[in-house]
Amino acid sequence: MLSACGSLLLRVQVKTPGGELVMHYVGKKGKGPICGDCKVKLSGIPALRPSEYARISKRQKKVSRAYGGSRCGQCVRQRIVRAFLIEEQKIVKKVLKQQAATAGK
């Protein structure tokens, strides 16, 4: 007896220890999480169906890093470097403004 989306389920014949052939219904494979910036698959996180993520622990759903289960390591590095350079640029602008003010006096 198949459900409404039964055609999507893979059927596998398995021989039991008693020698009987039975059908096992294998669910669809999960795609796994992808990086929100570059769309690459996130390493270290299993590819499961959405309902199966509820059954695994929090530690298995993310990696121990900023933006752990959401962004890949390269994108996190880019974000950190970009933020650092923006802050440096602000400091340089402030210093140049001060130098211009002292030179104008």
Q: CA–CA separation, 59 vs 64, rounded Å? A: 8
Q: Tell which wins on pLDDT, 21 or 10.
A: 21
Which residues make Cβ contacts (< 8 Å) with residue 29, sequence separation at least 6?
47, 49
What residues contact residue 66 under an 8 Å CB cut-off, 6+ apart?
76
State the pLDDT at residue 103: 86
Contacts of 77 (CB under 8 A, 6+ apart): none
Q: Is the overall model pTM greater than 0.75, yes or no? A: no
User: Could you give the CA distance from residue 7 to residue 2 in angstroms, rounded to a whole number?
Assistant: 8
Structural domain boundaries in the chain: 29-104
The pLDDT-based confidence of 74 (bands split at 50, 70, 90) is very high
Cα–Cα dist 25/22, whole Å = 10
State both tokens at 34.
């992808």
